[in-house]
Structures are given as structure tokens and as C-alpha cells.
Amino acid sequence: MTAGLDTPDRRGRTHLDRAGRDLTGNPGVKVRDVSLLSCHWYVLRTTTFDYRHRDGSWSTEQRETYDRGNGATVLLYDTERGTVLLTRQFRYPAYVNGHPDGMLLETAAGLLDQDDPETAIRREAAEETGHTVGAVQHVFDVYMSPGSVTERLHFYAAPYSAGTRTGTGGGVVEEGEDIEVLELAFTDALDLVRTGAIADAKTIMLLQWAALDGPFGK
């Protein structure tokens, strides 16, 4: 769908062409124009701005940005048994860009939508893995692909056990999700990072954090 000026996206947001026009944090960037290209699923914009280089000269630049909203992800771990819970699902963008089958091993994750990050990740953990977690630890917040995607991802970790399981997981069928839940030994998960079998950035980051500063690094 080609977006008109006030065409709402799937979350009902309007005035999508206004994003970035009021930015004042960097005096070396002056936004000239924002053009809405599409809001079929998420929001694609072209922004024209003046940029001041380190030598003081100015140039007019143009960038496309893809706005899918912010998200959250969580590593579920069991230190007593030395295991982690991951998911596996089909990712077409990875498949079309060289992944053998598009089936990626990942930590549970999802968009915030209208929720705060902690609420969102509790929701996603329950929907995807079937576990209702208790205390969660905030790890860090990361821009995953800052050259083109606006998303900021909030990283969490939380313990799980047989007692936290309240459902079957698998995702929300009505949203087209078809998610397999896998329990792996933490050491095996690290080996899969080394071999490239785990190729998802957020998952690698949380597993390495868990080994260095997290529950398996103490």
C-alpha cells in the first residue's frame, strides 16, 4: 500500500510524515523534509536533512528509515540444570538472504506495541515459550541496525523452571506465528554460536552476556 499523508498504519498511528521534523538534539542536523513511502505493515520513510561535517561544511543528505516500533527480548535460563529456552521459527528475510532454510534459533522476542518493555517481554515469553516468568533482569538496550532501522531492542534475562510453565507456547496462531520451543544445555547453545548454527544477533548477544556477566559467568 502506498501511503497517503494521513494514512494510518496497522496500529492506527497517523501524521506519520511528521516523525523527525521536531528533532533538536544535534545542531549539526537540520531536517528539511520527511516523505512517507509506505505503511503497509510497518512504516517506511525518506528523510532529507542538512548535515554539518567535522570540517564545518554542510551537505544535503537523504536516508530511508524503516520504523517497525521498538521491541524486547528475553533469555530464559535455568542455572540448576544448566539450560536455556530458545525458540525456532521461519524468518523470510534471513531465508532470502542466504540462510539455508530460514528457520532461526532465537530468544523469545516481540514488539512493545502499547506496552512498556518489561510488560511486553513477559507477554512474549508466555506466548512463545509457555512460561510466566517472575523477576526479570534488564541487561541493556541496543539499536540493532542503526543504518536503516529505527528499532531499539530492550534486552532482558529471567530464570525459568517447571513451576513457571503455564501454557504450551508456540506463539499466537491468529497472528500467523508457528514457533517451536527448544530447551538446550547452555554449553550446547554456545557451541551453536561458534559453529554459526545460531545466527540471530540478539540471541548471540544474550548468550555471550550470560557467559561473561550473567547467570553462567559467576
Q: Is 127 annotated as a binding residue?
A: no
Q: How far is CA 42 from the centre of its chain?
A: 14
Q: Is 61 annotated as a binding residue?
A: no
Ramachandran region of residue 95, left (φ > 0), alpha (ψ -120 to 50) or beta? alpha
CB 19 within 8 A of CB 45: yes
- Characterize the bridge pairing of strands 71-78 and 152-159: parallel
CB 47 within 8 A of CB 37: no
How far apart are the C-alpha atoms of 167 and 179, rounded to whole Å?
Answer: 13
49 secondary structure, DSSP code: E
Q: Is 177 annotated as a binding residue?
A: yes
Q: Is 124 annotated as a binding residue?
A: yes
CB 108 within 8 A of CB 74: yes
Q: Which residues are annotated as a binding site for Mg(2+)?
A: 109, 124, 128, 177
Q: Which residues are annotated as a binding site?
A: 109, 124, 128, 177
